[in-house]
Amino acid sequence: MSDSDSLRILHCFRSPVGGIFRHVRDLTEQHHKAGHKVGILCDSTTGGAHEDALFDGIRPYLDLGLTRTPIRRSIGPSDFIALAKCTNEIKKLQPDIIHGHGAKGGAIARLIGSRLRVSRSRVARFYSPHGGSLHYSSARLSGKFYFLLERLLERFTDGLAFVSDYERRAYLDKVGRAAPPNRLVYNGLLECEFEDIQPANDAADFLYIGMMRRLKGPDLFIEAVARAERIVGRPLTAVMIGDGDEKESYRQMLVQSGLLERVTLHPAMPVREALRLGKTVIVPSRAESLPYLVLEALAAGRPMIAADVGGIPEIFGSDSGALVPGDDVEALAGAMALAVRQPHDIERHMPTKAALHERFSAGKMATDMVDFYRACLA
């Protein structure tokens, strides 16, 4: 690729944890290999040793460097400091594309991009919600406030990239008809992630992987394990892997329910390493967009029970027997008990690897995204 065809792409997001970070890492690697120059702007106060190692893994692909500065989750005066600090740094990079991910990252990216355009930059401003503010209810005052901000920020947006059709429909329903061009670009996996992973000999019955926050449903998982035990009439084992401010509260929940000896807690670790620790993966989320965890586990050949929320049905198919109603402990516990009694029954509900690869490969994701960038630039 010639320098004239190469794009200078800057990704902006708040927290280097979870699916957004994974999405950006994959885009960074794929676009670098395609000849583009990529950089990252994100918060400096979140993440730990695990995230530092992930950053080290993509540093060779960051031709535009890594810029980290404090960015708080909630809106506040500190945002003006972050904007002022980052604008001058980004101006030196002369990006063609500034792509914001998540509500806070999207706001900062579009405001900085608009400030650069005042200085005659031709930078294009893109936004991917990744759930973000769309998880709020339009019936609540907080939701109305965030959706108003989203409508205002549309004026500073050249393209909206959605990772699931559910996310696109939620945006149109809650924010309103999207004025900027928009496109559906599914999350994708690397080729090596389509290789099977077998559980360890001492693998637990169930496995939870995710952030320790209510939205992801760790409390539902704990309650469902207890109820599944009563259904099958014997003790069951489980592993919970992840970090978060609420982790200690879930440890106390395990103590109070008498499950701590059978449900072990681990810090965040690479997903393919974590998948060896449990026989059946459980995704009890109350809300999702298009979770990488679901794609990674299925591509690795692991059976799964997941909540029928967000874009998850777009992966399984809306009538899959592996899906249970969201926020329904009884339904989740019943499915888990069935997985223990008839382990092969749940396996027949998993999508085929061929179908997954056709729709959810990292190469396709990266190509589709660049095509969208170029279409909007044109």
pLDDT tens string 75-126: 777 777 778 878 888 888 999 999 999 988 999 899 999 988 887 778 999 9
What contacts 119, CB < 8 A, 6 or more positions away?
A: 91
pLDDT for the residue numbered 322: 95
Predicted local confidence at residue 46, as pLDDT: 84
What's the mean pLDDT when you consider all of the chain?
92
Confidence at residue 1, expressed as pLDDT on a 0 to 100 scale: 57
Summarised one tens digit per residue, pLDDT across range 148-168 is 888 999 999 999 999 999 999
The pTM for the full model equals 0.85
Whether residue 2 is predicted with pLDDT greater than 60 in this model: the reply is no
- The average pLDDT across 27-50 equals 92
- For the chain, which domains are there? 8-188+361-377 (3.40.50.2000), 192-358 (3.40.50.2000)
* Reported confidence tier of residue 317, pLDDT bands at 50, 70, 90: confident
Give the confidence band of 374 by pLDDT, cuts at 50, 70, 90: very high
Determine the pLDDT at residue 4: 63
Instruction: Kindly indicate the confidence band of residue 239, based on its pLDDT and cuts at 50, 70 and 90.
Output: very high
Rounded mean pLDDT of 199-222?
96
Mean pLDDT of 239-250: 94
Q: How far apart are CA 316 and CA 313, in angstroms?
A: 5
266 pLDDT above the threshold of 90: yes
Strand order through the sheet with 8-12 = 66-69, 37-43, 8-12, 97-101, 124-128, 159-162, 182-184
Residue 49's pLDDT band (boundaries 50, 70, 90)?
Answer: confident
User: Within 10 Å of residue 229's Cβ, how many Cβ atoms?
Assistant: 20
On the CB side of 302, CA atoms within 13 Å amount to: 33
